Amino acid sequence: MTAIPRKHAVRRVLDLLYDAGGVAAAICLVAILLVIVAQMATRWMNISIPGLSEYAGYLMASASFLAFAHALNRGAHIRVNLFLTALGERRFWGELACMAVGVAASSYLAWYAVRLVYWSRKLNDLSQGQDATPMWIVQTPMAVGAVLLAICFVDNLITLLLTRHDNIGSDFVEQSHGE
């Protein structure tokens, strides 16, 4: 009888964080639906609620950024597998280069997304639309998603260096070969 391998506590926490981002993104998508339905209903009743279009846009940006880390770990992002496969024995080095670029780009994005929230809060920046929403509120989910994505790339880079394999699922890649 073989022992079932247990995930390390850090791995479980990271996977939980990525999944929480995916759940938050799904909640944002449902909220977009509700905002659009509310906008249609108010239009039919000749009632004007300013800012509903802006809120749908804010929720779309939030959903996108919050889902990035979850999608990356599930293999839902587009990867250049054809190129990596063509590298043959040197595939590891191609993966390593891709992860390094991903870490650099996502860290840069996360750093400036967090700074944007900080300065929007400090300067009391308001949206240009009729809603006049404080921008730091609508920018925070974007910053959280960017930080999650940077953590996910660092996580995958470290795992790649230690095990020669990343944590990115291959379900979507395998499904595409059968179609």
- When pLDDT is cut at 50, 70 and 90, the band that residue 76 belongs to is confident
- pLDDT value of residue 74: 86
How far apart CA 84 and CA 94 sit, in angstroms, is 6
Phi-psi region of 51 (alpha: psi -120 to 50; beta: other; left: phi over 0): left
pLDDT in tens, 32-72: 999 999 999 998 999 888 888 888 989 999 999 999 999 98
- pLDDT value of residue 171: 54
* SS3 of residue 126 by DSSP: strand
Q: Which residue has the tokens 């496969």?
A: 85
How far apart CA 156 and CA 170 sit, in angstroms, is 14
